[in-house]
């Protein structure tokens, strides 16, 4: 019997990313706005081609992240086995320094107020947050944003270096797109395998990879082990930290902060069911180019009765099975076949997938005066253009252009098929047929990619109350077992009954505040005041005790 496990996964549609960094900023506000994590961005947005963050992290000849196959064809950590890890524990030779990320800084804002009256306007000079000394800003998390400095910087892009022997880089014909990145929450996480203390783990309920802060001893091997360099070292606390997939939010059924705030609405979250016993076997596939298909083969069809029975036997609850069935992730990977993993050749089985951008192709067509919406033109361009396709293939399919080409052809087909419907009212069924889809499927795919509402983009089952007796919210010892959610009074009137989880309460309070004209209304809090959401305006009910009338 297969051992079925559930995994929360994400897909990002790169065509819709405008590079606004809202995801990065809101994530930073939520998770890494503390001392010691100044340089840390659990979510960052890179401009490609570009060096990325930390610089050239994809150059695994240098950083040795991820897995490789040894001579006997078995998986081993690229940075070395267990013994080698322990022998290099005193000075990890493969750890990026702060300079590889960037030296975080602040400004001498106080100078603006405290400077004496002079002819010249006082300036706030940058100061390093590492040394506290005045510093010169030389690099940052997105220094090469929008191809800034690309003629000098982009040639060092490890992905571009792989394809550059095919085609000489011509910057007047440069292409560009944005790549938002979070932790991949891999099925075969090399950071977890690298942790000497066993402090990193994969949650068996939802597959989120976390660091146990009480067990981490700061050996720093996870930073080396992760090929995406998405585990960071908090230099103040001496502990590793990483993207948490916003577990306190997803446990109550709301999406991660980066997804919630995404301006382009390009992120999708849903469940994937997979066969846990076959992960290592699939990750050991000898041919790197076959790893994409191998990873797909590990994932199970949530509508297959046999899979459902096995999942039940493995203890996956019914509402999770239902969520898996409606998962937008499964649809994008399998039904429409448009999502691809990032760097499958690292053999970690990443679970944040991407829909590669068609826009570089459309841009080239438009610049050469062709109709960038016509199926024939697009198909021809996809077959002919080697630079963008080669580059995308190095990112998403270990250099094999065919999967990328197939995805782009489907996106192109959707583009021209939907244009036919919208402008001419005609359905050219030859277009979907050319990419192996039905017209209805194309329309469904269009709906999911373009206009799907919140509830279809994020299908996140709540963590179970009966499992969650010890959820983080419950560190205080209350019960998560509540019905109807916030706003429901208990059996003895308002404010009776168990309290709602803080994350739910914050979420609803915030929504209320965004939607209401009144200031500081807090009816739904049953007489209590949520100070986390009080913006200082007005006096919400319950902030002060009611005055006793003297009359």
* Residues of this chain that bind other proteins (CB under 8 A): 82-83, 85-86, 89-93, 95, 97-98, 130-133, 188-189, 192-193, 195-198, 200-205, 212-220, 233, 235-239, 463, 467-472, 474-475, 477, 479
Degrees (nearest 5) of the Cα angle 465, 300, 319? 25
Query: For residue 363, how many other CB atoms are within 10 A of its CB?
Result: 17
Written as one string, the DSSP assignment of 411-469 is: HHHHHHHHHIIIII----THHHHHTT--HHHHHHHHIIIII--HHHHB--PPPPTTTGG
182 or 349, CB closer to other proteins? 349
Shortest distance in whole angstroms from residue 313 CB to other proteins: 17
225 or 341, CB closer to other proteins? 225
130 or 147, CB closer to other proteins? 130
132 or 455, CB closer to other proteins? 132
63 or 354, CB closer to other proteins? 63
Shortest distance in whole angstroms from residue 530 CB to other proteins: 22
Distance CA 540, CA 383 (A): 62
312: which 2 tokens? 């039940």
Shortest distance in whole angstroms from residue 460 CB to other proteins: 15
- Residue appearing with tokens 């994937």: 272
Cβ atoms 16, 359 nearer than 8 A: no
Q: What long-range pairs does 171-177 form, CB within 8 A, spacing at least 24? A: 173/364, 173/387, 174/49, 174/147, 174/150, 175/360, 175/363, 175/364, 175/387, 175/388, 175/391, 176/47, 176/48, 176/49, 176/146, 176/147, 176/360, 177/14, 177/17, 177/47, 177/48, 177/357, 177/359, 177/360
> Strand 177-181 and strand 126-128: pairing?
unpaired
Shortest distance in whole angstroms from residue 114 CB to other proteins: 23
Q: Phi/psi of residue 85, each to 5°?
A: -60, -45
349 or 382, CB closer to other proteins? 349
Degrees (nearest 5) of the Cα angle 415, 420, 425? 145
Shortest distance in whole angstroms from residue 223 CB to other proteins: 9
Shortest distance in whole angstroms from residue 51 CB to other proteins: 19
Shortest distance in whole angstroms from residue 203 CB to other proteins: 6
38 or 157, CB closer to other proteins? 38
296: which 2 tokens? 């797909």
Shortest distance in whole angstroms from residue 257 CB to other proteins: 20
Q: Residues for the chain: how many in total?
A: 551
214 or 517, CB closer to other proteins? 214
β-bridge partners, 211: 200
> Strand 4-13 and strand 352-355: pairing?
parallel
Q: Phi/psi of residue 352, each to 5°?
A: -110, 110
435 or 500, CB closer to other proteins? 500
Closest CA to 180 of 368, 317, 12: 12
β-bridge partners, 13: 355
Query: For residue 477, how many other CB atoms are within 10 A of its CB?
Result: 6
Distance CA 279, CA 291 (A): 11
Shortest distance in whole angstroms from residue 288 CB to other proteins: 20
Distance CA 323, CA 205 (A): 14
Shortest distance in whole angstroms from residue 84 CB to other proteins: 11
Asked if the peptide bond before residue 54 counts as cis, ω within 30 degrees of 0, the response is: yes
**CA trace torsion 56, 26, 461, 342 (10° rounding):** -10
95 or 169, CB closer to other proteins? 95
85 or 229, CB closer to other proteins? 85
**CA trace torsion 344, 339, 304, 322 (10° rounding):** 110
Shortest distance in whole angstroms from residue 131 CB to other proteins: 4
Shortest distance in whole angstroms from residue 218 CB to other proteins: 4
202 or 457, CB closer to other proteins? 202
344 or 432, CB closer to other proteins? 344
Shortest distance in whole angstroms from residue 475 CB to other proteins: 5
Distance CA 325, CA 337 (A): 16
């Amino acid at each position: 019997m297969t051992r079925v496990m559930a995994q929360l996964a994400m897909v990002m549609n790169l065509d819709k990313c405008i590079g606004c960094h809202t995801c990065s900023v809101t994530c930073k506000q939520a998770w890494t706005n503390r001392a010691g994590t100044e340089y840390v961005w659990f979510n960052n947005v890179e401009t490609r081609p570009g060096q990325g963050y930390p610089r050239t992290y994809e150059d695994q000849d240098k950083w040795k992240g991820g897995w490789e196959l040894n001579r006997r064809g078995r998986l081993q950590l690229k940075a070395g086995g267990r013994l080698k890890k322990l022998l290099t524990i005193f000075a990890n030779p493969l750890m990026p320094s702060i300079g590889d990320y960037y030296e975080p800084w602040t400004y001498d804002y106080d100078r603006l107020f405290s400077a004496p009256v002079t002819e010249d306007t006082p300036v706030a000079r940058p100061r390093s947050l590492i040394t506290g000394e005045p510093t010169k800003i030389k690099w940052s998390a997105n220094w090469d944003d929008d191809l800034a400095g690309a003629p000098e910087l982009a040639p060092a892009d490890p992905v571009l270096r792989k394809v550059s022997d095919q085609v000489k880089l011509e910057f007047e014909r440069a292409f560009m797109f944005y790549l938002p990145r979070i932790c991949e929450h891999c099925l075969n996480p090399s950071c977890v395998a690298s942790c000497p203390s066993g402090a990193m783990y994969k949650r068996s309920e939802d597959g989120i990879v976390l660091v146990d802060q009480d067990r981490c001893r700061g050996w720093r091997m996870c930073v080396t082990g992760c090929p995406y360099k998405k585990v960071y070292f908090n230099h103040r606390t001496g502990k590793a930290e990483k993207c948490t997939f916003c577990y306190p939010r997803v446990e109550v059924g709301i999406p991660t902060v980066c997804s919630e705030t995404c301006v382009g609405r390009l992120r999708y979250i849903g469940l994937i069911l997979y066969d846990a016993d076959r992960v290592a076997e699939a990750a050991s596939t000898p041919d790197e180019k076959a790893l994409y298909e191998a990873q797909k083969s590990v994932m199970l069809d949530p509508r297959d009765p046999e899979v459902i029975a096995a999942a039940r036997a493995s203890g996956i609850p019914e509402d999770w099975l239902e969520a898996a069935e409606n998962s937008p992730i499964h649809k994008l990977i399998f039904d429409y076949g448009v999502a691809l993993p990032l760097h499958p050749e690292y053999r970690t089985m990443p679970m944040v997938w991407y829909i590669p951008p068609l826009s570089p192709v459309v841009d080239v067509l438009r610049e050469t005066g062709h109709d960038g919406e016509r199926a024939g033109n697009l198909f021809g361009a996809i077959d002919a253009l080697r630079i963008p396709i080669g580059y995308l293939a190095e990112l998403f399919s270990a250099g094999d252009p065919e999967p990328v080409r197939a995805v782009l052809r489907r996106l192109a087909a959707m583009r021209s098929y939907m244009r036919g419907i919208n402008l001419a009212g005609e359905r050219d069924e030859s277009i979907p047929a050319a990419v192996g889809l039905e017209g209805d499927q194309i329309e469904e795919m269009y709906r999911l990619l373009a206009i799907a509402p919140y509830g279809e983009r994020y299908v996140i089952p709540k963590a179970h109350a009966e499992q969650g007796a010890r959820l983080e919210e419950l560190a205080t010892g209350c019960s998560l077992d509540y019905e109807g959610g916030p706003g429901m009074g208990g059996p003895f009137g308002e404010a009776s009954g168990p309290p709602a989880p803080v994350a739910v309460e914050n979420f609803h309070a915030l929504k209320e505040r965004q939607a209401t004209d009144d200031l500081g209304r807090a009816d739904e809090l049953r007489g209590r005041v949520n100070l986390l959401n009080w913006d200082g305006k007005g006096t919400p009910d319950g902030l002060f005790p009611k005055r006793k009338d003297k009359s």
